[in-house]
Homo-oligomer: A and B are copies of this chain.
Amino acid sequence: MRLSSFFMPTLKESPADAQIVSHKLMLRAGMIRQTSAGIYAWLPLGWRVLQKIEQIVREEQDAAGAQEILMPTIQSADLWRESGRYDDYGKEMLRITDRHDRDMLYGPTNEEMVTDIFRGFVRSYRQLPLNLYHIQWKFRDEIRPRFGVMRGREFLMKDAYSFDIDAAGARRSYQTMFLAYLRTFARMGLKAIPMRADTGPIGGDLSHEFIILAETGESGVFCHRDWMNLDVLADAPGYGDDLQAFFDKCTGIYAATDEKHVPGESPVPEDQLVSARGIEVGHIFYFGTKYSKPMNAVVAGPDGNPVLAEMGSYGIGVSRLAGAIIEASHDDHGIIWPDSVAPFNVGLVNLKPGDSQTDTVCQDLYHKLRAAGLDVLYDDRDERPGVKFADMDLIGLPWQLVVGPRGLKNGTVELKRRATGQKEEVSEEFALTRLIGG
């Protein structure tokens, strides 16, 4: 993509109303634009990141055996009356009346709808286990939306729902999603710590939040300092394996949100307890028959008798992750995207558009990098080098490849790794090998 025709409206100054660094940087990099309080349009750069995040989430859900569907955003209130949550949910639920005066709502979550789909089709325990997920926009009418996409009103969530014939099966499903979440966040360069958590309006008695430590986090969290240097995935089992030992190991190291942490009663000695702020990026629940019972979601068991489905649900804040990754990975100059979610792999900077040698070399690099399957943002704009460097650092692509007449006289281009700031004067060929090779 040529930057001269790419719609990426960067801002020099931080907008006054943005309080946290990810919100500031997303606005400055031209990733998003607020269209109403807590509601955002994703501009091309932001949309590319959101798609990358979504795809990682999807791949791990698929690998874990969940099946993708898509449920609609608008739901009938009747379903929520069946579960009893229609009155419980309060003002965060966006309630809507259609032209025929039917009570509808914009889904904040989908336990009721997926249970209705399940009971409509699934008849036998032989069709279990079943895990259905979708990646769909949700709406929660927050009283004070803030922090950009981190706490917006319209937000993209992946929510999965597992159905099992008994509690043992449901525990396996829970453990499988537990592993999938650790893998998902790790692939995005995030260290997410699973913490015992409250179940809130979803219900149930077993629940973990996946929390990224960050100063700007909304939740207070507590964990054993062993979590700081632990790579729990180092010897993780595969999805098909027995996961109990892995699950026990992960949950055996203390970590809890402040609702669950009782000062003085944690098993961790004070000098080994880390108290920090965290951002919730995922939340998983095992709630048994909380929905299957009132909604009568039963299947025939092995003996032919009806059995209520044992259920769990599993959420990832897909749009929130765009902000959370920035909170975890930035510096004074801007965003530092992990390779896996970067909107482009390489930023190619032409220091002197119009100079025929520089143009020729840039064109050549552009075509070769793209031919190798890399996404390249080619800054061919008629701007000063300082502007170009500042924009490249701001938008945080993993690699910058800088081409100018001075370097070309010596046969070199400059290759810069955004994360470390390390620069190398190298030949065109070396740069290509480095970028394409890995």
Contacts and interface: CB of A to CB of B under 8 A. Distances in A.
Interface of A: 5-7, 9, 30, 33, 35-36, 39-44, 47, 50, 65, 67-76, 91-92, 94, 96, 98-99, 102, 104, 106, 113, 116-117, 120-122, 130, 132, 137, 139, 141, 143, 153-154
Given A44-B68, A113-B35, A91 B99 contact: yes
A124 to B, nearest CB: 12
Nearest to A120: B33
A71 B113 contact: no
A99 B68 contact: no
Contacts of A141: 98-99
Given A7-B132, A94-B96, A99-B143, A47 B74 contact: no
Given A9-B120, A35-B116, 17 more contacts: A5-B65, A6-B67, A30-B121, A35-B71, A35-B72, A35-B113, A39-B72, A39-B74, A43-B117, A44-B67, A44-B68, A44-B69, A50-B70, A72-B154, A73-B137, A74-B154, A96-B106
Contacts of A91: 99
Most buried by B among A98, A130, A132, A139: A98
A414 B102 CA distance: 52
Contact of A117 (B41, B65, B130): B41
A47 B69 contact: yes
Contacts of A33: 117, 120-121
Contacts of A94: 74, 96, 98
Contacts of A75: 35-36
Contacts of A72: 35-36, 39-41, 137, 154
Nearest to A121: B9
Contacts of A70: 41-42, 47, 50
What is the copy number of this chain in the assembly? Answer: 2
A359 to B, nearest CB: 19
Contacts of A139: 74
Nearest to A155: B72
A137 to B, nearest CB: 6
15 contacts: A7-B69, A33-B120, A35-B72, A35-B116, A35-B117, A41-B69, A43-B69, A44-B68, A47-B68, A72-B137, A72-B154, A73-B137, A74-B154, A91-B99, A99-B141
Contacts of A116: 35
Contacts of A154: 72-74
Contacts of A35: 71-72, 75-76, 113, 116-117
A153 to B, nearest CB: 8
B69 A106 contact: no
A155 to B, nearest CB: 10
A303 B47 CA distance: 34
A42 B117 CA distance: 11
Which of A7, A44, A73, A121 has most B Cβ within 10 Å?
A: A7
Given A36-B74, A74-B139, A75-B36, A69 B96 contact: no
Contacts of A41: 69-72, 113, 117
B71 A73 contact: no
Contacts of A69: 7, 41-44, 47
A35 B130 CA distance: 20
Contacts of A7: 67, 69, 121, 130, 132
A137 B132 CA distance: 20
A341 to B, nearest CB: 16
Contacts of A74: 36, 39, 94, 106, 139, 153-154
Looking at A50, A74, A130, A139, which has the most chain B CB atoms within 10 Å of its CB? Answer: A74
A106 B73 CA distance: 10
